[in-house]
Structure 1
Amino acid sequence: MSEAPHRLSSRPSYLLTQTATHARRLVTEAFTSEGARGYQYRLLATLHEFGPASQADLGRRGNMDRSDVVGTLNELVAQGHADRTPDPADARRNIIHLTAAGEAHLRRLDTALDTAQNQLTAPLSAAERTQLVDLLTRLLAHHTPD
């Protein structure tokens, strides 16, 4: 770790920011190795966990801007990882479905992401990794509006 002034290196905000930079690099490299981006993983994981959904619902669940959802879905549909079908209840919107190819791609991305997570948390024991996730979850929940 480079030498930073103690008044920086002793503050959680500084440590979180520095660690986030490394995490972002590792995750980006992992997804790139599989020809994907983070937004694609976010939407595929959301579809897998919650099932078919409207674009608006996917954006809310994935915490994504509507324009990012549309662009990313266009990529996923073109790659055969998702399908759009008209909503029978409202012809103005589409329902997005995960395809079998999308599920297979998600599994590959999970494996790549697991490798990145292991690299990021390499100096921690399994118990410390669990504790880190718990602490970060609490911090995020505290700072996330309902």
Structure 2
Amino acid sequence: MSTERGGDPGGAASARRGEVSDRGEVPDGAGWAESSGASGMAPMAATPGATDASQGAEPDERLTPARLRGMPSRLLALTAARADRLVSASLAEEDARKWHYTVLVSLDEFGPTSQAGLSRRTGIYRSDLVAVINELAERGLVERAPDPGDRRRNVITLTARGHARLRRLDAVLEAAQEELMEPLSVAERALLTGLLERVLRH
């Protein structure tokens, strides 16, 4: 886990089922989408004429019908939208976007890979990924080099500067998670995370 997006490199990409695009659709097991809502669909408005939560406003729960207040899908959508705004704003303060973090953490955890391999790991369209890799390479966070086993492709590797940058972004996102989960105890956070994982795998 907007526009972390301070200018999405893949703005022309279409949102097809099963892939990540700038419009926010997320495949199973993929990284974050770069959009104003964390889900592929906009959260339901609380009342007729209410501002969509994905656009930055939250409904007045006092005016929300009881059947909506307790609807799990609505609560998940509103919470996801809030989390997306929080994470995106936190990364933006570091001149970073969610796709930057997704690529860096994937390279750190799984090691160097080709652009195609990185696309499969993260769920980011290859056409969008080119722009993301270019941005990271310009900052010295990743480097591209010909694959010794196949000169037709490049291998993307995390640099020492990229590792340092990732450590900083890890701290930023840890603080964002702390702010998001502030109302919950440590045990409640672990329980919620486990339940969300079960629902997502269902």
**TM-score, normalised via structure 1 length:** 0.93
Tell me, yes or no, if structure 1 residue 111 matches structure 2 residue 146. Answer: no
Greater RCO structure (CA 8 Å; 6+ sep): 1
2:149 matched to which residue of 1?
89
Unaligned runs of 5+ in 2: 1-58
More helix by share: 1
1:28 matched to which residue of 2?
88
1:55 matched to which residue of 2?
115
Unaligned runs of 5+ in 1: none
TM-align CA RMSD: 1.0
Structure 1 CA distance for aligned equivalents of residues 133 and 95 of structure 2: 15
Structure 1 CA distance for aligned equivalents of residues 190 and 116 of structure 2: 32
2:126 maps to which of 52, 58, 66: 66
Structure 2 CA distance for aligned equivalents of residues 33 and 120 of structure 1: 17
Q: Look up the equivalent residue of 1:96 and give its one-letter code.
A: I
Partner-residue secondary structure (3-state), 1:13? helix
1:2 maps to which of 60, 64, 79: 60
> 1:6-28 deviations in whole A, cap 9, x for unaligned?
11111111001100111011100
Question: How far does residue 93 in structure 1 lie from its aligned partner after superposition?
Answer: 1.1
Partner-residue secondary structure (3-state), 2:187? helix
Q: Look up the equivalent residue of 2:133 and give its one-letter code.
A: L
Q: Look up the equivalent residue of 1:10 and give its one-letter code.
A: G
Structure 2 CA distance for aligned equivalents of residues 39 and 68 of structure 1: 10
Question: How far does residue 137 in structure 1 lie from its aligned partner after superposition?
Answer: 1.2
Q: How many residues align?
A: 142
Structure 2 CA distance for aligned equivalents of residues 126 and 59 of structure 1: 34
> 1:80-126 deviations in whole A, cap 9, x for unaligned?
00000111111121100000110111011011101110110000011
1:136 matched to which residue of 2?
196
Q: Look up the equivalent residue of 1:2 and give its one-letter code.
A: D
> 1:30-86 deviations in whole A, cap 9, x for unaligned?
111111000000000000000101111111111211112111001000010000011
Q: Which moved more, 1:3-12 or 1:102-111?
A: 3-12
**TM-score, normalised via structure 2 length:** 0.68
Structure 1 CA distance for aligned equivalents of residues 128 and 163 of structure 2: 21
Q: Look up the equivalent residue of 2:155 and give its one-letter code.
A: I
